[in-house]
A = this chain, B = another copy of it.
Amino acid sequence: MNEVAALPEAARHDTLDAFHRGAFHLVQPTGRGHRAGMDAMMLGAAVPTSFGGRLADFGAGAGAAGMAVASRCPRSSVVLVERAPEMAEYARLSRDHPLNRHLADRVSVLEADVSLTGKKRVAAGLSDAAFDFVIMNPPFNAAADRATPDALKRAAHVMEDGLFESWLRSAAAVLKPRGGLAIIARPVSLAAILASTAGRFGGVEILPVHPRAEQPAIRIVLRAVRGSRAGLSLKPPLVLHGTGERFSEQADAISNGRASLFGD
């Protein structure tokens, strides 16, 4: 996640950022839109290292999480699914960048809205039972992390609950039986996520992410298996920082594509 160089199109204020210690790069806009960081790296790290199937990155943005999977899992093929035309364009710029030539054969970009249903979803390129794994980092209103009036907070929660239901319904539809799901979200969304996995996914594994050992979790990474009947389990947490501002050894390894989040 180091800025390497500004692109020639300086007016667009794009940057080229190195991830996984230079194993892949992302073209990203500056000053607007979501910029990829540790959330995307943790999500990508939730996929087992041995994974060798077809993976969809829902709401891929510039492609950080999906590219992280392509980089760490050499037998995987990855479809970056992004609705916003501008961000899908950054995903294509990233995929086509010369520094990502070693990955380009296994990465494609699909400009589509993952919340579509039925025939519209299929027509958009998201066929039934077409993937072995879906990962997602659903957009959330960061303002909801801060104190806001109750009414606003409730509206934000309702919107988000609907978003999880919509995205998880599509994930279940496009996954093959026993296909895998990974999602990164805020702890406040846990109930909505569990409600939407019910009846669709089983074998839920929750891994809390704490900034420091003594602080509440800021994220959860949740995995599940399509059609499984296994029960939920709660994994030992990832603690991002020891003393000081530097990443812990485990967080650094995950950030740099040298370890998987669930140890598999």
Residues on A facing B (Cβ under 8 Å): 150, 153-154, 157, 187-188, 190-191, 194-195, 197-198, 204, 206, 208, 210, 213-217, 220, 229, 231-237
Q: Is the CB of B229 within 8 A of A153?
A: yes
A210 touches B236 (CB 8 A): yes
| Distance of A232 Cα from B38 Cα, bound (Å) | 22
Residues of the B chain whose Cβ atoms lie less than 8 Å from the Cβ of A237: 208, 236-237
Of the candidates B153, B191, B235, the one whose C-beta lies within 8 Å of that of A198 is B191
Determine the chain B residues whose CB is within 8 A of the CB of A236 once the complex forms. Answer: 210, 213-216, 237
Across the interface, do A216 and B235 meet the contact criterion of CB distance under 8 Å?
yes
Q: Are B195 and A217 in contact (CB under 8 A)?
A: no
Closest 3 CB pairs of A and B: A188-B231, A217-B234, A191-B194
Which residues from B are CB-within-8-Å of A197? 191
Q: How far, in angstroms, from A164 to B233 measured CA to CA in the complex?
A: 18
| 25 A-B contacts (beta carbon < 8 Å) | A150-B229, A153-B229, A153-B231, A157-B231, A187-B231, A188-B231, A188-B232, A190-B194, A190-B234, A191-B195, A191-B197, A194-B194, A194-B195, A195-B195, A208-B208, A208-B234, A208-B237, A210-B236, A213-B236, A214-B236, A216-B234, A216-B235, A216-B236, A236-B237, A237-B237
Given contacts A157-B231, A215-B236, 8 further A-B contacts (CB under 8 A): A187-B206, A188-B232, A190-B206, A190-B234, A191-B198, A191-B204, A217-B233, A217-B235
Q: Which residues of B contact A231 (CB under 8 A)?
A: 153, 157, 187-188
* A233 CA / B211 CA spacing, docked (Å): 13
Across the interface, name the chain B residue whose C-beta is closest to A209: B234
- Copies of this chain present in the complex amount to 2
Report chain B residues within 8 Å CB of A191: 194-195, 197-198, 204, 232
Contacts of A210 in B (CB 8 A): 236
* A213 to B250 CA separation, bound complex (whole angstroms): 14
Closest B residue to A198 by CB, please name it: B191
Chain B residue, CB-CB nearest to A154: B229
Q: How far is the CB of A184 from chain B (nearest CB, A)?
A: 14
Task: Tell me whether A232 and B187 are in contact (CB under 8 A).
Answer: yes
- Shortest A239–chain B CB gap in Å is 9
Q: Closest chain B residue to A153 by CB distance? A: B229
Nearest B-chain residue to A195, judged by Cβ: B195
Kindly list chain B residues whose C-beta atoms are within 8 Å of the C-beta of A233: 187-188, 216-217
